[in-house]
Chain A
Amino acid sequence: DQQVKQNSPSLSVQEGRISILNCDYTNSMFDYFLWYKKYPAEGPTFLISISSIKDKNEDGRFTVFLNKSAKHLSLHIVPSQPGDSAVYFCAALYTSGTYKYIFGTGTRLKVLA
């Protein structure tokens, strides 16, 4: 049972344009949602997060949107840069009762120069 899903395994975007990465979840009990970025041969690094009580969080070129009714979150990168080319994982966390931290399967973003 995949509680956090990233249905697009890959995405290509032109430099300077917007990149939109999507993530769906099934459990309405999650407290936080996060995005991590991963370069080859490195561990994932935290990018941005959003609390379940908010619907938007912005950090520079990165914005995460949360649509609780649709159980959907998205990461917008504007403008996209070649250095943004990486695998992006969404993750969801809840700490009520059993601690759960669940990652999606990842989306490989390629930003074309």
Chain B
Amino acid sequence: DAGITQSPRYKITETGRQVTLMCHQTWSHSYMFWYRQDLGHGLRLIYYSAAADITDKGEVSDGYVVSRSKTENFPLTLESATRSQTSVYFCASSWQGGETQYFGPGTRLLVL
């Protein structure tokens, strides 16, 4: 399907486990983003990528790792999940860092 997709949509894991959230877009957008949404904090940027093999930290990057070997994919890995990483995670993309971002449907993650 065209657009931006995220998988899984829901995930339950335990403290200390490694978790990878997937993001795939079909528009060939150069920029991709990961956000987390928490009550009272809105959307906070975790990492972004301007192109394949180029990534940069956002405001809440501790405990997260990203990679971008292909333009269309931007996986987010929680190396050792903590309860504070329970959140809804959104992936987004934009054309060359333009102002409009296109968001995926989100992944709801619960860390027990």
Tell me, yes or no, whether B103 is within 8 Å of chain A by CB: yes
A-contact 0/1 string along B32-73, CB 8 Å cutoff:
010100001111110010100000100000000000000000
Complex CA distance for A60 and B16, rounded to whole angstroms: 49
Instruction: Please measure, in the bound complex, the distance between the C-alpha atom of A46 and the C-alpha atom of B42, giving whole angstroms.
Output: 15
- Residues of the B chain whose Cβ atoms lie less than 8 Å from the Cβ of A89: 42-43
A-binding residues in B (CB < 8 A): 4, 33, 35, 40-45, 48, 50, 56, 90, 92, 97, 99-106
Q: Once the chains bind, are B100 and A44 in contact (CB under 8 Å)?
A: no
Q: Tell me which residues across on chain B come within 8 A of A91, comparing CB atoms.
A: 43
Question: CB-defined interface of A27-44 with B at 8 Å, one 1/0 digit per residue?
Answer: 000011010100001111
Q: Check if B99 sits within 8 Å of A93, measured CB to CB.
A: yes
Instruction: For the complex, count residues of A whose C-beta is within 8 A of B.
Output: 23
Q: What chain B residues lie within 8 Å of A99 (beta carbons)?
A: 48, 50, 56, 97
Sample of 16 A–B contacts (CB below 8 Å) = A31-B99, A34-B99, A41-B105, A42-B105, A43-B4, A43-B104, A46-B100, A101-B45, A101-B48, A103-B35, A103-B44, A104-B42, A105-B40, A105-B41, A105-B42, A106-B42
Residue of A43, A46, A95, A104 ringed by the most chain B CB atoms within 10 A: A43
